[in-house]
Amino acid sequence: MKSRIHCLLGLLPLLLSPARAENAVVNLSHYDEMRPDFARMSGEGILAVIHEATYPKFVRDARYAERQTAAARAGLLWGAYHFADATDPERQADYFISVVGGHWRQSAQRPPGVLMVLDFELNNHYPGGTMTPVQAAKFVERIRERTGRYPGVYASEYRIKAMLSGSSTTAAVQRTLSNCWLWIANYHHTPASTHPWQRWMLWQYTGDGICDLPRSKYPINIANIRKAERNLFSGSRSGLRSFWSANAWVPKS
pLDDT digits (tens, 9 = 90+) for 166-219: 667 899 999 999 999 999 999 999 998 788 999 999 999 999 999 999 999 999
pLDDT attached to residue 18: 53
**Contact yes or no for 130/159 (Cβ under 8 A):** no
C-alpha to C-alpha distance for 156 and 162, rounded to whole angstroms: 10
* Cβ-Cβ contacts under 8 Å for 207 (sequence gap 6 or more): 185, 187, 227, 229
Handedness of CA 171, 197, 230, 162 (dihedral sign): positive
Q: Give the pLDDT mean for 156-162.
A: 91
Confidence of residue 19 (pLDDT cuts 50, 70, 90): low
